[in-house]
Amino acid sequence: MAKIDIDNKNIFKKVAEKAVEGVKKVAGKAVESLGDSKPKIRVIDRFRAWNYGLLGKYDRKSAKETTKIKTAEDVIKLLDNKNAERESRIANLRKESGVGHEGILSKLEEEFLKEKQKIEKRIEKMKAKRDKSETKVRYYENKKIVYENKTKNIVDGVLHKVEKRLNPHEVKIGDLKNKIGTLAFEAKNFESTRVRLGEKVDNLKKKLEAADFKAEKKGIKRIIGEIENEMRKTEKIRLGRLEEQSRMENKLAKVNKKADKWRNIHDQFARLTQKEIEHKKIEKRGLEKPDLKNIEIGDKKKKRTKKEEGGNSELSSEREPTFSLEEYVENWNKYFGSQFKIDSKLFLEEALEKKMEIPFLEDHIRMIYKKKRETDKSSVGSFSERDLEKSLKSLNNYL
């Protein structure tokens, strides 16, 4: 048995060296193919076929030897039972025959011992066959273990290379989805504002019909003109946001197309490590196309103070409306956050909660804009002071 163990170790060592050499040769070609921008699926398909083909071959051979082991054990059990049964019969015969038949019984026992020795030789022969098949099973199982582990290590290396190519695309996809979500949200807000301003114009037109002196009619007409002008600007901005959204969606489709090539090659290699092998369980790997989530922007209810109207006329003097800085910043980001986003954390908490008239609120926005432009010009991008003033004026009509 010592000699068999030594031989087994030598065999297993040769198996390991051969398996590693074969895996590296095939997987090396697959790794090289990843140097190009267009992955060569043909190499991967060949690698997969080679992987499953060899494992199948080892499984079949191992199963064949396992069957031989079972057969040998069944024969050994049958022969052991045969010897035990004959021994029991002779013992019963000696017990039942009584005294005076020693000669016959001795001769019978002598014949039984000869048959028993023959059967025991057959048993030893079957045990030798069983032990030989067990050695072969260990040999094939060792082949599978070495092959599987080395294949998994090489596949992990390939996956790492693929992920390095895929990750920049996934990051870009996430950024594009965030921008698309922001633009869609702003376009929706501008549409709501345009509708609201339209309703305001309709109400003023009704008042115009009911007006009974020239100055009143003239005043209403001027207000209607200003609001309609704001409606046109609002619609222009909304269409601009939608055009930008469309461009971003086209970019997203192109980046997704590039990423899909690497996702496919990643999934094909990942599946190589997921096959369940009988002798042990291979731990399954996660296929998580970067969970890309669309940006979620919830419509927050605006906290607005109600205007206290004085007199019966729409043109009567009103007190300047006030808003908290937090409300004003929230509304700014709602409409113009994609051009120049303002973080409310830049202000003190007591300043955010304090109610102020619009001119003071506008000054806070101008101050933040100026500060950002001086410290980091890239943070404001192409958003100019002129754009800032136009946006502030428009925002006053949306509040």
Cβ neighbours of residue 52 closer than 8 Å, sequence gap 6 or more: 275
Between residues 34 and 150, the one the model is more confident about: 150
- Going from N- to C-terminal start, the domains of the chain cover 2-159, 318-399
Q: What is the pLDDT of residue 176?
A: 94
Distance between CA 81 and CA 85 in Å, rounded? 6
Q: Sign of dihedral through CA atoms 58, 63, 68, 69?
A: positive
> pLDDT (tens digit, 9 = 90+) per residue, 229-248?
999 999 999 999 999 999 99
Closest CA to 11 of 104, 158, 142: 142
Q: 148: pLDDT confidence band, cut at 50, 70 and 90?
A: confident
Q: Is the dihedral of CA 277, 283, 289, 291 positive or negative?
A: positive
Structure-token match 């409606």, residue found:
231
Residues forming beta bridges with residue 94, ordered by sequence position = none
- A 10 A CB-CB count for 285 gives 15
Most confident of 51-55, 222-226, 298-302: 222-226
- Which of 193, 261, 238, 211 minimizes the C-alpha distance to 41? 261
